Amino acid sequence: MKRMNKKGFSLWQVPTVVITLVVIAVILSIGSTVVQDVRDDNTANSFAYNASDQGLKGLDKVAGWQDNIGTVIGAAVILTIILGTLAYVGMKR
């Protein structure tokens, strides 16, 4: 039997992708809270304060990409539905 190399994802995998995005959001939220608490416990302009402040800024940048990732995944799902419907209608002719 021939083995097919399939690229992309199917509609059946969408719930897994959504759950993954939710888990990432929860992890970023908890991580940001912990890093902010560590930063606030240190004196200003100390090494620990500056390091945790940079970590907090990095987490903010990563979290900022989540809306873009969600938009791309949503667009991919919509295109998959449209193209799948067109292919199904085309096969019935």
Q: How far apart are CA 50 and CA 30, in angstroms?
A: 20
Q: Is residue 5 part of a domain?
A: no
Q: Is the pLDDT of residue 17 over 60?
A: yes
Domain containing 20 equals 14-92
Q: Is residue 79 part of a domain?
A: yes
Q: How many domains does the chain have?
A: 1
Q: Is residue 82 part of a domain?
A: yes
Q: Report the pLDDT value the prediction gives residue 85, as an integer from 0 to 100.
A: 86
pLDDT in tens, 23-59: 999 999 999 999 999 999 999 999 999 999 999 999 9
State which of 17-26, 48-57, 65-74, 82-91 shows the largest mean pLDDT.
Answer: 48-57
Q: Is the pLDDT of residue 2 over 60?
A: no
Q: What is the dihedral of CA 75, 78, 83, 84, to 10 degrees?
A: 140
Q: Residues with Cβ < 8 Å from 72, sequence gap 6 or more?
A: none
Q: Report the pLDDT value the prediction gives residue 3, as an integer from 0 to 100.
A: 57
Q: Is residue 3 part of a domain?
A: no
Q: Is residue 6 part of a domain?
A: no
Q: Is residue 48 part of a domain?
A: yes
